[in-house]
Each structure stands twice: as structure tokens, then as C-alpha cells.
């Protein structure tokens, strides 16, 4: 056993913002008692932790428990983000959800969407070949890309094309021959029930392969000829250099920076091939890289993660009895990200497009509301820790301490100076006074309203 | 209503209404005089006696009663067979093409963003473009050019949970944080966030102040689309200089249950537009407004038994007092030999319509906005001045 190495709290904070959903300082300090390598391992080796038991959630949120409502899984997801011991699993599911971009608006079956999301959780950190195999058999995906209308006699190219373009290699790395062959190879891959809910409510729908509806003839795929079926196509796709780069880019853009870096992509792509397409190996390498460690505050925080992060700070929704989970979903939507409903087959427009005037107003207002709630256990805890710093705090001390409590945040000097001027540089705060709680939360609001707070 | 002698000259205003999901043009302007229509539409059809006939060969969908009244008043132009080259049956790609006016390359700059830049090159008014609905449409997106996105006017604003002195203080700080005297080590992204923050604050103030006195006898329906149109009427009558508006009505992807769905949606569209123009008239603010209604594509000629699948070639509407109503371009041929893989062939490029609006209505050179030169519709719009 190695000696526990204390990790820099700001590095822990960075890792938790990206690979988890962020955390207040008191949690970061506990995590920092461990070495960085061990923290990464604890996130990546998800089998070390159980998934959260959600039977109490089911009992107290009946509306969402039975997946009858269209937004069921999205609401539940926020509960999961806040409470899971496997936060990386949820992040990876969110990443693939954006990449495979299957939307409830078309699938129109909450149960199928829940199955889809669990498929992403179960396989998202596993082997990419397995993930593509599961994806190709996923009822929501089949319906989403009209794959049930892909018949041997009348081939529908939608899934074959998107598999190559959006789920693996990307445009320019294959020809129309490969599209056609992939589509033919997946003909007959369908579901046993059509999805519309009426007349008998939602019902489960399952993948079936109809041999008699498959296009049985030789197909050409990257120069090879054979009577390929869907899995043969996947076997060949995953070996393509473009696929390695695609998976690497997807991970990099979600976890590291909005703009991919060529050299970093090549390195990650190497891990993809060396590990035989194991995503968890890529994640391990990614989090241990200096590039990751240094890429702080370089992405715009995704709206769903913004919401979950604030809940981690305020300590709300850790118990299943608290009402108001639907609000979290509605707020995320208002900030531009309705979970389970990506706007296009390309997923959300991320990066700077997360910020428009309405989205920004919602982000700022939501943070200001929640961080001012002195009833919330997490807010109380942060205020209490500020009090413990001493009987009085200067304005600068309060600002720096508040930044720290909110997750070891950074703020540009020019913004810090502006806040201090507004607060009054000479002010001294009496931490024992009755009004200190309000003064502390006002500082939280100032910080959370800043441009810098929008970055992760 | 008397007009104050000092009233400033009216500026032309352009409102875009997006029908998302691919509205079935064949069941919007129905070619009921053509027997092929009934051959191809075995179940998803409208019987001849139900159609709101226009000229004996085509007519409007039965639920478009208000739109038909506006048509009869000469205020509705229907552009038949509109589309874009090399039709792509993907919603997303099609929508992007309409939004960016770029059918060949994937870009993120919107054509209305470029229009706003042209209308307000000095960025003097953050409310030159205002979109109602969930998120700024890509059409209005252009880096460095402000455009305001509003989900709904009620409650719109920054730090609205604070009150009085507290709120003023927080807003003052907000303003200073988003316009620092020196930018510090701001990344491009931080600059974008900062600019958006200032635009949002300024825009919210303008919208709030401008619309506070709005009253109307028109009662709009409660659905989001009608409320968006109400918001547009409120902002337009506030005279804060908004020139471009955007509203969206979704749900037109009618692979199944088409008749019931289109019944509801087209009735919603028709009533909403009628209420909107009635409201504008009440405020003597109709003449300067032109509305364009479009959808990303039309649908297949042959129905699928319950609905229709993605197609190409559709239709667009241009509505307003200054629009010279009537049918424009040709109804696409339904003859099987003329089909484009089972779809209607488009016969006019959507950028022709854009160019006409830009040139004849907004008075700006169209070619740089639509990236090319396209033939315009002569006499489609009579300019304001």
C-alpha cells in the first residue's frame, strides 16, 4: 500500500468539475487526502461503487417512477447526477447522449428512452465495439433513425449513413459504397413493436433480427466483399483510424476543451487501438495527462452540469423526499439543454453556443436563487465554514474564501477588483453577526453572476 | 387613430415564422383540381368540398380559414415549389440550410445574423433582432452581432428574485463585471460570455420598459406559438427599433396521425397570425410588418397510410399589407415522370425569396447575405417608402 499523497485542492476541483459534477470545498478537501492517481482510479473503476438505490425515489416521485411521462427519465437523471457514487458513468452517458443524440420528441416512448439511457450507462465506458453493437440493437435508436423501415427489398440508408458519419468515422472517410453496404447489412434489424403508445399505453419494445427481411447478397466494404451482416460492418468500422480519432475527439471535447488538439487526439487514438477499443482505458490516460490537468476553465459548463453542480453546492435533492426535481429539468431546458431531447441529430451546439442572452440570464438567475437559500444544507455548511475562519473577515478575505467554498474557483483579477470595489474594499464583516449569512450569500451571488462562473 | 405629426418614419420590420418538422405543403396548398393528388393521397387527403378553394385547381387546408381571409384581402403571397438544391431529407441539415442560406457547406453563421449586422453595423441597438421561443435560432446567430432571445416576456430579466436596492446593486455589479475596463486574460469564450451578458442586460431593460404599457383587446391563445406572436406585437409596438423577429411552431413531422396533427397546428398558425395582425392594426402598426412562414421541407407525394415521410420541395408564405398577394411560381408537377425520388421538384431557390425580402423590403443588398445572386420575385412586395 502506498502512502496517501495529498493532492492540490485546485486540481481535485478541476477533476471533479469535469469527471463528476463539481463539489464544494469541504468535499474537495476530503478527496485531496488521496493521491491524484487514486482519485482518477476511483472515478474510472466504476465497479468499486454501487449505483444508487432508487426505490425511495420511485415511491416519492410516482409521476416519474413508471416512466409514463415524456420527461420521466430526464427528471430522474438529475436525481442520479446529484446522488450517484459513479459520477463519471453519468458524465460519459451524457457525452454519448450528445453524440448519439436520440430524442424523446421522436421516439415518443419514455420506457424506450430509459432503456436507451441505461444502455449508454452500461456500455459507455466499456468497449467501443460492444457499444456500437448495443446501439445498433437499441429500440429507441432504431426508431430514431427509422431503421425499422430498412428492409432487404427496400433499403433505408438512414442508420447505415449515420453510423458512419455521426457515430464512428465522420464525413470524408468513406464513400457512398460503404454507406450503401452498411445500410444493406443492417436491413432486417428492427423492433418487435411499433412505438406509438395507443391504444394500450406504453409497452416495451425489443430488438429483433428478421432473417427474411435481410438483404442477403455480397456487399463491398472498404475493398472487402462478402455477405456482411451488421456486426461484420461494426467489426470493420472499429478498426478504422478515423474511428479512433472520432472516439478520441468525442472524449477530448467533452472532458478537456471545446477545441480539439491534433497531437492530443493522436495520443488518445493510440490508446484506443492499443487497448482494443476500451473507453475506460482512454479515460484513464486522458485524466492522467498534463494536457487535461492544465485545461482549467476552458469550457463553457453544460447546462445540465450547471444545474447539477449547483445542487452539489447547495446539498439539495440528496434525499428523495425533497420536491422540486421537475424544476431542475425545466431550468436546464431554459438554459438550452433539455435532457433526452437534443435538438438535432448532431446533438447540442456546445461551447460558446451554450451562451445566448436568454440562456445566460437563466444560468445567472438560477445560481443566484439557489445560492441565496440559507435553508439549503449545503449553503448553511459553506456559511458555517466561513464563520469558522475567524471573528471578522475583510472584503478580500470574504471574497477569496467564498470562491474557495464554491469549489476552489478562480476569477480574473480584473473581476475580483470589480467585486471588491462594489462590496467596499475597506469593509470588515463580523462573522458572528446575525446578518452574516445574508452577506455571505450575497457574495456567492456576486461570484455566480460573473462571466468566469460560466466556465468549467 | 390619429398619428402624431412628429411620429418618426416607420421602418420595415420582418418576422420569420418557422414551422419545424417539415410541413406537408401538399396538404397546405392542396392541388385538389389535380386527380393525381387523390391518386397519391389515398388516406392523407382532403376532399374537394372541404378545401378552401383559391382558383379551382388549388386551395388552402380547411383549418386555414383566417389565412384564407387574409389571402382574399390580397395580403398573402404563396411561393409554390420553394426549396434548395440537392435536397437532403434530414430535418437538421435542411433547417441549417434555411438558417445559414448555405446549401453546400456546413457553417454556423445565420442569414438573419448577417442581416442584423447590415441593419445595425455599429451595434447601437441590441434589440435589432429578437427571437421568441426556446433558444436563439441559428439563423440569427453571428459571432459579435447581438440578438436577443426570449422564452417569454413575463418575468424576463436578470436577477429578478432580488428586489429594490439589493437588485440595483447586483445589476450594477453585473454590468461592471461584463464590461471590465481591461479585458484581463479573457479567452474568446469569456469575451463572448461578457458581450452576451451586456446585451442580455440591456435587452431585458429595453423590453421591460418598452412593453410595460402594452394593452390590447386581442386575446391570444395560450400556446407558446401564439404567446410568441403576442410578444412580438408587444415589442414591435414598443417602438424600440426591433427590425427582425423570429417565432417557431413545431410538431409538423407527421409520419403518423397527420390529419389530426395538421388540423391542430394549422388552425393554431392561422388563428395566431390573424390575432397578430389584428393586434398590430389596433396599434396602427401593421403596415410596416411582413411575415414569412417557412418549413425546412415538404413531404413525400405519396402518403404512407397514416402520414407522410420527409420529402423535398415545399411552400412558403409572405404575409402583410405591403405584400402583393397571390400565387407565385408554379405548383410542382405531380406527374410521376417529374418526381424527384418520390418528391416534388422544387422550382425556385429559397434564396430568391430571401433576396426579394432583403432588397425590396429591408432595403439592403441581398447578394452578400445569401452568398450569391438569385433572381427575385418582381412585384412581390411594395416597399414602405
* Chain A CA closest to residue B166: A442
Q: Name the helix (H) or strand (E) containing B314.
A: strand B314-319
What pLDDT is attached to residue A69?
56
What pLDDT band is residue B5 in, cutting at 50, 70 and 90?
low
CA distance B96 to B92: 6
Contacts of B341 (CB under 8 A, 6+ apart): none
What pLDDT is attached to residue B6?
55
What pLDDT is attached to residue A94?
98
Compute the average pLDDT of residues B41-56.
Answer: 95
Chain A residues near residue B161 by CB distance under 8 angstroms: 365, 368-369, 372
Residue B130: helix, strand or coil by DSSP?
strand
Above 80 in pLDDT, residue A140? yes
Output B281 or B92, whichever has higher pLDDT.
B281
Residue B242 near residue B199, CB atoms below 8 Å: no
Chain A residues near residue B180 by CB distance under 8 angstroms: 412, 414-415, 418
Q: Mean pLDDT lowest for which of A93-102, A433-442, B56-65, B199-208?
A: B199-208
Q: Mean pLDDT lowest for which of A312-316, B61-65, B258-262, B361-365?
A: B258-262
Nearest chain B Cα distance for residue A32, angstroms: 28
Nearest chain A Cα distance for residue B76, angstroms: 31
What pLDDT is attached to residue A196?
55
Neighbours of B370 (CB within 10 A): 22
What pLDDT is attached to residue B137?
87
Output B95 or B5, whichever has higher pLDDT.
B95
Select the residue of A360, A413, A415 nearest B200 (Cβ to Cβ). Answer: A360
What pLDDT band is residue A1 in, cutting at 50, 70 and 90?
very low
Contact B177 A300 (CB under 8 A): no
Residue A216: helix, strand or coil by DSSP?
coil
Q: What is the DSSP letter of A341?
A: -
What pLDDT band is residue B251 in, cutting at 50, 70 and 90?
confident
Above 80 in pLDDT, residue B93? no
Contact A414 B180 (CB under 8 A): yes
Contact A372 B95 (CB under 8 A): no
Contacts of A29 (CB under 8 A, 6+ apart): A9
Compute the average pLDDT of residues A396-417.
Answer: 96
Above 60 in pLDDT, residue A31? yes
Output B70 or A103, whichever has higher pLDDT.
B70
Cβ–Cβ contact B45 with A under 8 A: no
Residue B232: helix, strand or coil by DSSP?
helix
Output B196 or A64, whichever has higher pLDDT.
B196
Average pLDDT over all residues of chain B:
91
pLDDT tens-digit readout, A282-315: 999 999 999 999 999 989 999 999 999 999 999 9
Contact B95 A344 (CB under 8 A): yes
* Chain A CA closest to residue B196: A357
Contact A357 B149 (CB under 8 A): yes
Select the residue of A196, A358, A449 nearest B170 (Cβ to Cβ). Answer: A449
Is omega for the bond preceding A141 within 30 degrees of 0, making it cis? no
Above 80 in pLDDT, residue B195? yes
**Chain A with chain B: Cβ pairs closer than 8 A:** 133
What pLDDT is attached to residue A171?
84
pLDDT tens-digit readout, A195-224: 555 455 566 789 999 999 999 999 999 999
What pLDDT is attached to residue A2?
43
* Chain B CA closest to residue A145: B90
Select the residue of B157, B170, B204 nearest A445 (Cβ to Cβ). Answer: B170
Selected for mutation to probe chain A from B196, B205, B309 (highest A CB count within 10 Å) is: B196
Record the cell numbers describing residue B217, joined without a space: 383587446
Compute the average pLDDT of residues B325-333.
Answer: 97
Kindly give the interhelix angle for A110-123 and A87-100, rounded to the nearest 10 degrees: 120
CA distance A369 to A307: 12
What pLDDT band is residue A53 in, cutting at 50, 70 and 90?
confident
Record the cell numbers describing residue B318, joined without a space: 409572405
Domain spans in chain A, listed from the N-terminal domain onward: 9-44, 92-257+259-296, 377-454
Dihedral sign of CA atoms B136, B139, B140, B143 in order = positive
Q: Enumerate long-range contacts of A136-140, CB under 8 Å, 24 or more apart.
A: A136/A163, A136/A186, A136/A189, A136/A230, A136/A234, A137/A189, A137/A207, A138/A102, A138/A207, A139/A112, A139/A115, A139/A191, A139/A195, A139/A205, A139/A206, A139/A207, A140/A102, A140/A107, A140/A109, A140/A112, A140/A113, A140/A115, A140/A116
What pLDDT band is residue B186 in, cutting at 50, 70 and 90?
low
pLDDT tens-digit readout, A240-261: 999 999 999 999 999 999 888 9
Cβ–Cβ contact B149 with A under 8 A: yes
What pLDDT is attached to residue A70?
54
Compute the average pLDDT of residues A185-201.
Answer: 75
Output A324 or A424, whichever has higher pLDDT.
A424
Above 90 in pLDDT, residue A90? yes
What pLDDT is attached to residue B219?
97
Above 80 in pLDDT, residue B52? yes
What pLDDT is attached to residue B183?
65
Contact B173 A344 (CB under 8 A): no
Average pLDDT over all residues of chain A:
92
Domains observed in chain B? 13-370 (3.40.720)
User: How does B322-336 read in b/e, with b if 16+ C-beta sit within 10 Å?
Assistant: bbbbebbbebbbbee
Amino acid at each position: 500500500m502506498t502512502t496517501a499523497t495529498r493532492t492540490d485542492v485546485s486540481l481535485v476541483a478541476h477533476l471533479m468539475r469535469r469527471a463528476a459534477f463539481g463539489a464544494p470545498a469541504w468535499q474537495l478537501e476530503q478527496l485531496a487526502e488521496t493521491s491524484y492517481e487514486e482519485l482518477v482510479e476511483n472515478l474510472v473503476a466504476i465497479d468499486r461503487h454501487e449505483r444508487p438505490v432508487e426505490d425511495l425515489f420511485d415511491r416519492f416521485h410516482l409521476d416519474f417512477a413508471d416512466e409514463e411521462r415524456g420527461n420521466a427519465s430526464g427528471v430522474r437523471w438529475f436525481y442520479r447526477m446529484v446522488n450517484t457514487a459513479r459520477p463519471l458513468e453519468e458524465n460519459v452517458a451524457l457525452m454519448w447522449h450528445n453524440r448519439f443524440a436520440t430524442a424523446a420528441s421522436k421516439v415518443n416512448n419514455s420506457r424506450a428512452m430509459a432503456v436507451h439511457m441505461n444502455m449508454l450507462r452500461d456500455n459507455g465506458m466499456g468497449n467501443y465495439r460492444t457499444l456500437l453493437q448495443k446501439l445498433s440493437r437499441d429500440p429507441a435508436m432504431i426508431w430514431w433513425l427509422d431503421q425499422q423501415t430498412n428492409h432487404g427489398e427496400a433499403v433505408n440508408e438512414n442508420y447505415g449513413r449515420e453510423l458512419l458519419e455521426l457515430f464512428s468515422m465522420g464525413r470524408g472517410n468513406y464513400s457512398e459504397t460503404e454507406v450503401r453496404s452498411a445500410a444493406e447489412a443492417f436491413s432486417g434489424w428492427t423492433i418487435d413493436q411499433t412505438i406509438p403508445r395507443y391504444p394500450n399505453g406504453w409497452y416495451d419494445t425489443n430488438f429483433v433480427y428478421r432473417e427474411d427481411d435481410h438483404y442477403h447478397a455480397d456487399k463491398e466494404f472498404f475493398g472487402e466483399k462478402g455477405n456482411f451482416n451488421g456486426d461484420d460492418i461494426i467489426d470493420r468500422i472499429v478498426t478504422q483510424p478515423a474511428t479512433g480519432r472520432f472516439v478520441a475527439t468525442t472524449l477530448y471535447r467533452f472532458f478537456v476543451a471545446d477545441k480539439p488538439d491534433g497531437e492530443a487526439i493522436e495520443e488518445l487514438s493510440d490508446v484506443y487501438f492499443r487497448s482494443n477499443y476500451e473507453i475506460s482505458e482512454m479515460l484513464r490516460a486522458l485524466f492522467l495527462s498534463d494536457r487535461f490537468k492544465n485545461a482549467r476553465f476552458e469550457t463553457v459548463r453544460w447546462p445540465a452540469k450547471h444545474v447539477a453542480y449547483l445542487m452539489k453546492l447547495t446539498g439539495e435533492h440528496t434525499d428523495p423526499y425533497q420536491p422540486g426535481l421537475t424544476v431542475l429539468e425545466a431550468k436546464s431546458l431554459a438554459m438550452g439543454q433539455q435532457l433526452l431531447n437534443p435538438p438535432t441529430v448532431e446533438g447540442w451546439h456546445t461551447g460558446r453556443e451554450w451562451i445566448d442572452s436568454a440562456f445566460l440570464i437563466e444560468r445567472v438567475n438560477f445560481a443566484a436563487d439557489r445560492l441565496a437559500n440559507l435553508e439549503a444544507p449545503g449553503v448553511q455548511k459553506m456559511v458555517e465554514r466561513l464563520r469558522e475562519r475567524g471573528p471578522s473577515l475583510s472584503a478580500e478575505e470574504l471574497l477569496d474564501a467564498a470562491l474557495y467554498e464554491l469549489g476552489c474557483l478562480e476569477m480574473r483579477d480584473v473581476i475580483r477588483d470589480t467585486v471588491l470595489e462594489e462590496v467596499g474594499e475597506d469593509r470588515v464583516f463580523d462573522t458572528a453577526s446575525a446578518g452574516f449569512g445574508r452577506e455571505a450569500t450575497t457574495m456567492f451571488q456576486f461570484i455566480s453572476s460573473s462571466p468566469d462562473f460560466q466556465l468549467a | 387613430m390619429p398619428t402624431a405629426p412628429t411620429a418618426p418614419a416607420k421602418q420595415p420590420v420582418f418576422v420569420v415564422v418557422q414551422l419545424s418538422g417539415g410541413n406537408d405543403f401538399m396538404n397546405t396548398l392542396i392541388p385538389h383540381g389535380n386527380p393525381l393528388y387523390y391518386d397519391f393521397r389515398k388516406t392523407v387527403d382532403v376532399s374537394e368540398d372541404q378545401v378552401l378553394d383559391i382558383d379551382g385547381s388549388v386551395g388552402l387546408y380547411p383549418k386555414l380559414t383566417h389565412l384564407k381571409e387574409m389571402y382574399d384581402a390580397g395580403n398573402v403571397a404563396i411561393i409554390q415549389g420553394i426549396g434548395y438544391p440537392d435536397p437532403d431529407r434530414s430535418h437538421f441539415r435542411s433547417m441549417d440550410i434555411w438558417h445559414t442560406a448555405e446549401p453546400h457547406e456546413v457553417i454556423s453563421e445565420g442569414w438573419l445574423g448577417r442581416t442584423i449586422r447590415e441593419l445595425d453595423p455599429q451595434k447601437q441597438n441590441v434589440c435589432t433582432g429578437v427571437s421568441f421561443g426556446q433558444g436563439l435560432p441559428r439563423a440569427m446567430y453571428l459571432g459579435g452581432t447581438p440578438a436577443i432571445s426570449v422564452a417569454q416576456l413575463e418575468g424576463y430579466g436578470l436577477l429578478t428574485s432580488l428586489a429594490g436596492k439589493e437588485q440595483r446593486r447586483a445589476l450594477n455589479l453585473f454590468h461592471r463585471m461584463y464590461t471590465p475596463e481591461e479585458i484581463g486574460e479573457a479567452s474568446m469564450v469569456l469575451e463572448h460570455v461578457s458581450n452576451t451578458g451586456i446585451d442580455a442586460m440591456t435587452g431585458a431593460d429595453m423590453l421591460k420598459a418598452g412593453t410595460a404599457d402594452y394593452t390590447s383587446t386581442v386575446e391570444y391563445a395560450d400556446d407558446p406559438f401564439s404567446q410568441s406572436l403576442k410578444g412580438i406585437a408587444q415589442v414591435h409596438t414598443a417602438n424600440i427599433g426591433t427590425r427582425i423577429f423570429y417565432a417557431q411552431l413545431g410538431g409538423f413531422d407527421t409520419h403518423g396521425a397527420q390529419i389530426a396533427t395538421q388540423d391542430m397546428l394549422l388552425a393554431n398558425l392561422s388563428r395566431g397570425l390573424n390575432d397578430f395582425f389584428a393586434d398590430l392594426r389596433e396599434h396602427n402598426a401593421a403596415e410596416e410588418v411582413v411575415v414569412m412562414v417557412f418549413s425546412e421541407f415538404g413531404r413525400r407525394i405519396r402518403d404512407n397510410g397514416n402520414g407522410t415521410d420527409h420529402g423535398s420541395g415545399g411552400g412558403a408564405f409572405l404575409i402583410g399589407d405591403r405584400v402583393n398577394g397571390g400565387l407565385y411560381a408554379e405548383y410542382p408537377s405531380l406527374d410521376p415522370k417529374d418526381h424527384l425520388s418520390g418528391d416534388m421538384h422544387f422550382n425556385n431557390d429559397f434564396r430568391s425569396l430571401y433576396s426579394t425580402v432583403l432588397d425590396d423590403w429591408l432595403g439592403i443588398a441581398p447578394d452578400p447575405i445569401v452568398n450569391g445572386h438569385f433572381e427575385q420575385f418582381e412585384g412581390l412586395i411594395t416597399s414602405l417608402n
